[in-house]
Structure 1
Amino acid sequence: MKALKQLGIIITILLVGQILQQHFNLPIPGTVMGMIILLVLLLLKILKLQWVEKISSILLEHLSFLFVPAGVGILTSLDKFKGKVIPLFIVVMVSTIVVMVVTGVTVQLLVKNKKGEKIW
C-alpha cells in the first residue's frame, strides 16, 4: 500500500506538470515539467525523499521495460526516417558523446564534493 501512495504522489506531480504545460502552452513536455516540479519540491524539502523513495526504486528497476512503447512507436514510424539515416546517426552519436561527457564530469564533481575537496 505504501508504494501505491508514493505512485499517487508521483502521478499527481506529473499531472500538474502536464496541466501547466497545456495551460501555458509551454515548449517543454508536461512530463519534463513534472520532473522539474518534483526536483524543486525535493530540493526545497517540501516533499520528503522517503515519500517517493520506494516507488522510485521500483520504477528504476523496471526502466528498460518502460522504454518498450517508445521503441515500438519508432518501429511503426520507420518510413519517416527514409533518406535521413546519416543525419540521424550523426545526431545520435553527438548527443550520446555529450551526455557521456556531462555525466562523467558531473560524477567527478560529486565525488570530489563528497570527499570534501574543492570543486573549482
Structure 2
Amino acid sequence: MLASLGLILLCQLIGEAVVRGLGLPLPGPVLGLLLLLILLMARDRFALLARGPLRNDGVETASKGLLAHLSLLFVPAGVGVVQKLDLLASHGIAITLVLALSVVVTLLATVLTFRLVSRLLTQQDAR
C-alpha cells in the first residue's frame, strides 16, 4: 500500500511540476490524476495483450483507504470557510446564486450527456 500511495503522490508531483513549469491554467493534482488514469489504462491494456492475469498493484486498495477517510480532508476546507466568514457575509447572496446556477448547469450537462450516450448505445445495439 505504501508503494501505491507513493505512485499516487508521484503522479500528483509530476502534474504539479508540469503545470508550474509550463504555466498551465490547470490545477496540478488534476493533471496528476489524468497521468495516473493513463498509467492504469496502459497497465490494463498491456495485461489484456499479454493475456496474463491482471496484476493488482495495490493502487485500488490505497485509493479505497483514502476514500474511507475522505471526510478528514474536508477539515482544512472547513477551517478556511470559518476564517472567511466576513467575506461570506458580504457576498453571500452572489455566492448562493452562483452555486445554484452551477448546480443547474451541472445537472443539465449530466442529463444531456446521459441521453446522448443512451442514444448512441441504442443505435449500436440496433446494428
> Is TM (by shorter chain) over 0.5?
yes
Pair 1:75 & 2:82 matched: yes
Q: Which residue of 2 aligns with 1:41?
A: 39
Larger Rg: 2
> Cα RMSD between the aligned structures?
2.9
Q: Which residue of 2 aligns with 1:60?
A: 67
1:38 Cα deviation after fit = 1.3
TM-score by length of 1: 0.74
- State how many pairs are aligned: 114
1:76 Cα deviation after fit = 0.8
* Matches of 2:65 and 2:110, distance apart in 1: 23
Pair 1:84 & 2:91 matched: yes
Q: Which residue of 2 aligns with 1:97?
A: 104
Query: Identity across aligned pairs (percent)?
Result: 36
1:35 Cα deviation after fit = 1.1
TM-score by length of 2: 0.71
* Matches of 1:18 and 1:106, distance apart in 2: 30
- Between 1:100-109 and 1:33-42, the stretch displaced more is 100-109
Q: Which amino acid aligns with 2:61?
A: K
Q: Structure 2, unaligned stretches of length 5 or more?
A: 46-53
- Between 1:14-23 and 1:49-58, the stretch displaced more is 49-58
- Between 1:93-102 and 1:52-61, the stretch displaced more is 93-102
